[in-house]
Amino acid sequence: MFTHNKKLQYTVRVSEPNPVLASLILEQFGGPQGELAAAMRYFTQALAEDDPGRKDMLLDIATEELSHLEVIGSIVAMLNKGMKGELAEASQTEAELYRSLTQGGDSHTQAILYGGGPALTNSSGVPWTAAYIDTIGDPACDLRSNIAAEARAKIIYERLINVTDDAGVKEALGFLMTREIAHQKSFEKALYAIEGNFPPGKLRGMPEYADLYVNTSQGEGDVEGPWNSGDHWRRLDDVIGGIPVDGGQGDASVGLTSSEQSDLSSFAARTMSNPMSDPTTGAELGQSGSA
């Protein structure tokens, strides 16, 4: 069950309305790296989790992400307060209202469609979608994905902090950014608490290819490092000479019945092209009358 405490997890103090900034901050409300996506990702993972420790952690973090959604939504609402009242009461002339609405960003959409409230969209007005949730049901995969999601969210918060000079907004965004760091640490600890977490899944892979590095982009700019050379890797630099890597013929084949083979042969004969033919085409006929 859920309960709600009417106090925000972090105090929001906005210096003055700024609907353009509000539209940018919506990215962390209803965007792919936002708080709603994070909450739903971790909550659905928790429901399916069988490990008591991971289940507890995922529920804790999912619930905190809902608290962060509340903080972000409150920031957006405060930044839109001025426009909300002006539009509702028509306290400005039509020209002044229009100029305010169209000063940039997606603020006009927020004001007209959502009355200045936080909408479940990203900063471009694209509606939130469950397609943002990339859970696959294996903890070694999902925890890595969670770490990456928190890292991406942290970067978005950094960028939002960099585009505002509102001290109160900066402070609240800084708190949310910092919590992304804490969550990354929790997820990484949980990942490494799984012995044999790499590679994910049960199957270990084909050993002859698991340590093979294929240098498919060659020329100026080639760089060797621990990611592609050294004792842990077997490099394949002669890519053309080294294929097929399985030592086979390098083609594709399938076993067919005699009836299937006969049908395919008939189809191929009926649709065969004639390389000696050079018919006049519609494009050529159309060009013949041009100057």
The confidence band for 287, taking pLDDT boundaries of 50, 70 and 90, is confident
Weakest mean pLDDT among 21-25, 109-113, 182-186: 109-113
Cis status of the peptide bond prior to 19, with omega within 30 of 0: no
Weakest mean pLDDT among 79-83, 100-104, 244-248, 257-261: 100-104
pTM metric for this prediction: 0.84
Cis status of the peptide bond prior to 17, with omega within 30 of 0: no
Kindly tell me if the per-residue pLDDT of 104 is higher than 90: no
Radius of gyration of the chain (CA): 29
Whole-number pLDDT of residue 97 = 54
Mean pLDDT score of the chain: 90
Domain annotation for the chain: domains and CATH numbers: 19-192 (1.20.1260.10), 205-247 (no CATH)
CA dihedral sign, ordered 206, 208, 211, 214? negative
Coil, helix or strand for 188? helix
Query: In this structure, are residues 137 and 48 in contact, taking their beta carbons and an 8 Å threshold?
Result: yes
CA dihedral sign, ordered 167, 173, 177, 180? positive
Query: In this structure, are residues 23 and 106 in contact, taking their beta carbons and an 8 Å threshold?
Result: yes
**Cα 126 from Cα 132, distance rounded (Å):** 12
Whole-number pLDDT of residue 109 = 55
Please give the average per-residue pLDDT across 216-245, as a whole number: 95
Coil, helix or strand for 167? helix
Q: List CB contacts of 84: < 8 A, sequence separation 6 or more.
A: 111, 115, 116, 117
**Cα 79 from Cα 58, distance rounded (Å):** 31
Q: What is the pLDDT of residues 199-226, one digit of tens each?
A: 999 999 999 999 999 999 999 999 999 9
**Cα 116 from Cα 79, distance rounded (Å):** 9
CB contact burial 3-27 (16+ within 10 A = b; e otherwise): eeeeeeebebebeebbbbbbbbbbb
Query: In this structure, are residues 160 and 28 in contact, taking their beta carbons and an 8 Å threshold?
Result: yes
The confidence band for 80, taking pLDDT boundaries of 50, 70 and 90, is confident
**Cα 38 from Cα 176, distance rounded (Å):** 13
Q: What is the pLDDT of residues 115-159, one digit of tens each?
A: 578 889 998 889 999 999 999 999 999 999 999 999 999 999 999
Closest CA to 42 of 192, 159, 190: 190
The confidence band for 277, taking pLDDT boundaries of 50, 70 and 90, is very high
